[in-house]
Each structure stands twice: as C-alpha cells, then as structure tokens.
Amino acid sequence: MRIGSLFSLCVVLTIGCSGKSEGEADSASDTDTDTDTDTDTEDTADSGDSGTDLEAVCTEPTEIACTDAIILDLSLHDDKVSDDEVSNVADGDGWESFVDGSAGGYDQAANNPWVYVKFTESGLERVDIDDETALESMDWDLAVRRYILRLNGGSSGPSCVGAASFAESTYEDLTSVPDGIAYRLDDYYTSDCTLKTDSSGLPGSPSVALGPWWSYDGCVQTTQTPHLIQLADGHIVKLVVDEYYAEDQDVCNSTGSGGSDSGKYTFRWTFVN
C-alpha cells in the first residue's frame, strides 16, 4: 500500500483545516444538506456495473455561479494538464487507488494544475483536462491537489457529484446506502461569490463535502471517516482516504508527529450499488 505525505499544509488552497503555522489543522465535518433531483437517463459507460437499473442524477452540465472567483481563489490554470501518477490495485470487490496530488510540493501548489479522476470499473482513471476546461466538463468526478478534494458539482464543477460523510462508522461497517441519505455538493461561495471558508480560520480554506477525511494534531491524520459519493449517473461509491504520507502515516495517526512527502493519496473505494 502506498502512502502519501504532507510535510506542510500552509498551502494557498486548503480544505478543512484549523490553520496552524504550517496551515495544517483540523478539518470540519459539515452537515449534509444538499439534495439532488433525479432525471431519467442511461448509466454512463465508465461507471461500475452492478446489474442494477439506476436513474441518473443529472445528464447535462450546468454553468457554475462563480467561475471568475474560483479561478482566482483556487489558482486554476488554462494551459496546464496534470500528468501525475494515478494507479490502481484490486482490493477485494473494490480498489486501492494511488493519486499523486503533490502538485510539485507546498511552495509550488498554486503553480501546478489539479489532478482530475473518475470512478470506473477498472479503478480510478485520470482525466486529461486543464482546470478551466474542467469547469465546463462532466467527464471527471474528483479533483485532487494537496489536501483539497473537490467533487464535480456545486461550486467546484458543472456536474452533480455529491458526498455524505459517516464519522460514527467505519469503511468496513458501511455496507449499504442508508435510507433518506442527503448528498452534499461542494458549496463554498455566497450569492455574491465571496469564498465561504471552513471552521479552520485559515484564509482561503474552502468548505467542501469531503473535508472530514483528515484532522490535525501535530501532523495530518487520516480520520478513516468513510464517505458515500453519488455520481452523476446514479452510482454510489464508498470511499475512505487511508494514507496521505509517503512514509509514517500510521505513526502520524497514533502520535501526532511524523510523515513526509506530502500529497500522495491512497484511496480505498468500491461501488455499493
């Protein structure tokens, strides 16, 4: 299993942190409030095929409200496409996926593009697209750069990908989709396109749906909080962030210190419908 690392979190763009001198801090678990309206359509070809008839949540891209703001606030690029590694190893019925979201390191994050991926039957697949084009594309599900995880919906993209977090459960125990679940879209802009930050107090730290994946107590600790992610085609993905350090993630989690080589994610996930 690979481990990703975060040696410094005071990155220009952050998520769910409580902002210490290195920008590393507690992530805030936001309450799931957003719901999506289903429309009839066929499933997309790239999604997991469980043999179950599904209704798509959305089929056409919508214009996001604060394009100019997100380009500036999240340092998006129109002339760079990430070629950073995305790889997969089968893990039972699901996958262990490695994504290099280091973006050249803490000091270079704003100068590098995001990594865009989608969930498929063959694991996480990189989508070769530049940041600004991604604001008009439904081809991706998840965007990764440093410790910010964006979903393609709401403030982050034109699709309708949303998530629900289950802090009181474990990845192994979350075996089905609970009744009445509400999926939260990324929602970090006000009506006048002012950035809404999380509870960290760190300037520029947007509140996103997958924020509860980490916490901070001397180093970035993976909380092991499982998430259900609803894709545009109606498929549901169960996901947990296992590792963010290339070395000593377990030491960080247990002692609050250690870890090196940041931005190297290991995700564990599977389709659950």
Which conformational region is residue 243 in: left (phi greater than 0), alpha (psi within -120 to 50 degrees), or beta?
A: beta
Q: What is the pLDDT of residue 44?
A: 38
pLDDT 10s digits, 216-236: 777 778 999 999 999 999 999
Q: How many CB atoms lie within 10 A of CB 89?
A: 12
Output 127 or 36, whichever has higher pLDDT. Answer: 127
Helix, strand, or coil (residue 142):
strand
pLDDT 10s digits, 126-177: 999 999 999 999 999 999 998 889 999 999 999 999 999 999 999 999 999 9
Q: How many CB atoms lie within 10 A of CB 4?
A: 29
Residue 25 clears pLDDT 50, i.e. is over it: no
Residue 160 is classified by DSSP as: B
